Amino acid sequence: MKRRAKPGMRVLGMLSGTSADGIDVALVRVSDISGHGRARPELRAALEHFACIALPQPVRAAILRVAGGAPTTCAEIARLNFVMGELFARAAAQACRRFRIPLRTVDLIGSHGQTIYHQGGPAKFLGVPGISATMQIGEPAVIAQRTGVITVADFRPADMAAGGQGAPLVPFVDYLLFRDPRRGRVALNIGGIANVTVIPAGARPQDVFAFDTGPGNMVIDALTRHFSGGRKTFDRDASMARSGHLDSLLLARWLGDPFYRLAPPKSAGREQFGADYLYPALEWSKRRRVPPEDLLHTATVLTAVTISEALQRWVLPRVSVKQLIVSGGGARNPLLMAQLQANLPEIEILRSGEFGVPEDAKEAFAFAVLAYQTWQGRTGNLPAATGARHGSVLGKIALPGEVNRSR
């Protein structure tokens, strides 16, 4: 059912990424632009504020353990779901205090939650073929009740039910932000997983395609935590990696994973590039006495190589690309950015901040826009990006009920 939009709705977009180090909160002003005879209105979205609210260390440790495939119970997952709902609600309130706006002035929340499992490709399970599965925790009913704000969450399953991989979903917003009538562009997000959105010059929505290229920061961050005994969560300024050297044997071992040879659409997560990918190579390198700095250097090169090879194999033969627009934590890694530029010398590399959305804010920004689409009863996925048979209205809506909004 289509709902009447308030002019310039204020929407909070929220998510916790694969590193689970905090909840990103973006306050976005979203409005419809008059259709002028078009079948559907176009959107205008502008970032007003952004904050990252840290997660408590015990919660973060539990998420990383469960998402990494460690033994768990239904009880633990259920409790984590409600704990994360409480923490997302607190993050919304804390962010609004930082932004110096009353929480009651927020019209809508879009919460991606925290992914603890994602299997985008279909497989047989219990004798039933074609089963895909995903789970994002952070109970939206709790968020809606605690904040008094209508909350949209659980965005991926609708796309998967339509035959898609449930990822990537950000391409809808990449198209909104970065389309250009004359220049072909690729939006690259380097979070835990790296993914690209390909936007040909003068593209229509159906011309856009996207896919995950492989690990972004996931392997780098895991190695940093391992070698620092958990004291560091990421290799700030690539300080460890820049003091090391490339181990070509290790790089070749990592590049042997069959994911890299799969044609798009494809998506990935810890199921592909978590412990099962990292630790056999770590043990192998230990026997060869490879220094930690060389492992970090090689992991950083791995991310750059798999991104550039994905573009050279699946994108550049089809689309003329003039600019690569980078967002995510990897945009702050100088070694990674230098490797990308060296591998793609003909392409201008820019950062999303130059287009009004800071590198750390883009995904939270995206889920604010997707929540707005859902509230308006409009599709939010791009089938060419996810592999879905058709567009779908994404997410589930949690209403706050009778809640005191005068806070």
How confident is the prediction along the chain (407 residues), in pLDDT tens digits per residue?
445 545 689 999 999 988 888 999 999 999 987 554 444 568 899 999 999 999 999 999 999 999 988 999 999 999 999 999 999 999 999 999 999 999 999 999 999 999 999 998 899 999 999 999 999 999 999 999 999 999 999 999 999 999 999 988 999 999 999 999 999 999 999 999 999 999 999 999 889 999 999 999 999 999 998 999 888 888 999 999 999 999 999 999 999 999 999 999 888 888 889 888 988 988 998 899 999 999 999 999 999 999 999 999 999 999 999 999 999 999 999 999 999 999 999 999 999 999 989 999 999 999 999 999 999 999 999 998 899 999 999 999 999 976 444 43
Domain 9-167+361-398 indexed as CATH 3.30.420.40: yes
| Residue 214, C-beta contacts closer than 8 angstroms, at least 6 positions apart | 193, 194, 257, 259, 260, 268, 272, 273, 302, 303, 306, 307, 310
CA distance 369 to 24: 15
- By the 10 Å C-beta count (0-12 exposed, 13-18 middle, 19+ buried), 74 is classed as exposed
Query: Pairing relation of β-strands 22-33 and 9-16?
Result: antiparallel
9-167+361-398 and 171-355 in the same fold:
yes
Q: Are 374 and 395 in contact (CB under 8 A)?
A: yes
Strands 108-125 and 9-16, bridge-based pairing: parallel
Domain coordinates in residue numbering, the chain:
9-167+361-398, 171-355
The correct CATH number of 171-355 out of 3.40.50.720, 3.40.630.30, 3.20.20.60, 3.30.420.40 is: 3.30.420.40
